[in-house]
Structure 1
Amino acid sequence: MADGYLTTHVLDTARGLPAEGVKIALYKVSGNSHRKIAETVTNDDGRTDNPILPADKFEPGTYELVFFAGDYLRATGQSGAEPLFLDQIPLRFGMSDPDAHYHVPLLLSPYSYATYRGS
């Protein structure tokens, strides 16, 4: 059995705070097919309460996290004019090690974002 798992969090770099209440969906990607396998919302620390992909469901492959940033930006008064520059942010990445902890955070502002493989 694999011991790998996936976590994420969102930081609001414009406000210098964790981004609370961001909806996140996780998809398993195979070619042009996407299958939603999880959905969660960030807590007051900008993290999810549990791994978005726990060890008992982990398998190597290509995945996509979709961060519903527009809803968060609207709720915090940072949205600006419609349509938003950033609304839903998809991050596609691969996980190859069945025993690794993958951490894929989002650093967010109304006009930019960044990500990295964290620890």
Structure 2
Amino acid sequence: MSQLTTHILDTSAGIPAPGIAVTLFVLQEKEWLQLAAGITNSDGRVNNLWEEGSSLPHGLYKLHFDTQEYFERNFTASFFPFVEIAFYINSHAHYHVPLLLSPFAYSTYRGS
């Protein structure tokens, strides 16, 4: 399994959110550098965002979720065109960063 995984649940519909572009960035010298990108599958997951067996260096990262296209595709008005979640990686442990999404709110937590 990749050291970093994510998934998106559309809490307003009670289902996973497929087809959302997710991009991983790392902060280096005050600049966000793109490391990887993926698209959520039919279960709302991106399981292979980072190369399996390869550890991410300690540092500040963020996941960028392009949510606007998802809501437009579902004919749903929304407030957030994208969501960004910043977090620290400070060990070689597995990091799971889920996004609970609705048209006018979102939340996250460190999953397992």
Does TM, scored on the shorter chain, surpass 0.5? yes
Query: Shift of residue 20 of structure 1?
Result: 0.5
Asked if 1:40 is matched to 2:8, the reply is no
TM value normalised by structure 2? 0.91
Q: Distance in 2 between matches of 1:33 and 1:13?
A: 33
Unaligned segments of structure 1, at least 5 residues: none
Moved over 2 A (4+): none
Equivalent residue number for residue 52 of structure 1: 49
Match of 1:103 among 92, 96, 99: 96
Q: Kindly, what percent of the aligned residue pairs are identical?
A: 39
Aligned residues: 111
Q: Distance in 1 between matches of 2:28 and 2:74?
A: 35
Query: Shift of residue 53 of structure 1?
Result: 2.0
Partner SS, residue 12 of structure 2: coil
Unaligned segments of structure 2, at least 5 residues: none
TM value normalised by structure 1? 0.86
Q: Distance in 1 between matches of 2:8 and 2:30?
A: 27
Q: Distance in 2 between matches of 1:111 and 1:96?
A: 32
Q: Distance in 2 between matches of 1:36 and 1:4?
A: 17
Q: Distance in 1 between matches of 2:2 and 2:45?
A: 18
Residue pairs, 1:6-17, within 5 angstroms: 6-17=4-15
Q: How much is the aligned-residue C-alpha RMSD, in angstroms?
A: 1.7
Partner SS, residue 54 of structure 2: helix
